[in-house]
Amino acid sequence: MTRMPTSNTPKAAIIDDAPMVSGVLARAFGDDPMMRWFFPHDASREAGLGRYFTTLFTRQYGLHGVCERTDSAAAFWVAPEGQDKAVPDAETVQELQAILGDRADLFRQAVEAAAGHTPPEPHWYLAVIGADPAARGQGHGSALLRSGLARADAADMPVYLESSNPDNLPVYGHFGFAVLGEASLPGGGPTLWAMRRAPRDPSGG
């Protein structure tokens, strides 16, 4: 039976979409170096990632960010004016610690290390983007990336992200991102690259 292609048209992701969004992102990040470090056990990784992304979406980015999805991908963005609010509150931190178990302290150290590279200038932040591996090559991630970048360009704002997957660096480079710096995460963790994209004229001029 032939699988029907899924729609890669971006649409707003609402809290009711949490099961779909968290499932897609759990599969998308199954081979991500940082997520494999946070969730080192193969047998429980996808379930742990599902809980992790559900918490981030329903308690953090879904409330204070700009979240979009296609049928097989999702992205969480934060506008400059939302970044103070998008910091996880104490209850969210506690929930994430319960999910991460004995990796919670490493997670906290990684967050602090990444924060050291955050530019002081106002910017849009791409917190999470991922596509289901079963739908890769169908343009889902690119569609979500273009949608968010267009929003940032319309506001004449740069965009900032971090990635621990070296395979993603040339992909982001294609969209205009340049590496700002890199850090080896504490506790023997993977390398994290900080990237920035300067705003572009939406009119193409």
Q: Tell me the residue range of the domain where 124 lies.
A: 11-197
Number of domains making up the chain: 1
Q: Residue 122's pLDDT band (boundaries 50, 70, 90)?
A: very high
Average pLDDT over the chain, rounded to whole?
91
> Hey, which bits of 47-190 come out as E strands?
66-69, 73-78, 124-131, 159-163, 177-184
202 within a domain of the structure (yes/no): no
Query: What integer pLDDT is reported at residue 101 of this predicted model?
Result: 93
Query: What integer pLDDT is reported at residue 2 of this predicted model?
Result: 47
Q: At 178, is the secondary structure helix, strand, or coil? A: strand
107 within a domain of the structure (yes/no): yes
1 within a domain of the structure (yes/no): no
Distance CA 61, CA 67 (A): 7
Question: For residues 83-102, b (16+ Cβ closer than 10 Å) or e, as one string?
Answer: beebebeeebbebbeebbee
Q: Is the pLDDT of residue 106 over 60?
A: yes
91 within a domain of the structure (yes/no): yes
Distance CA 70, CA 60 (A): 20
Q: Is the pLDDT of residue 61 over 80?
A: yes
Consecutive H or E run containing 195: strand 191-197
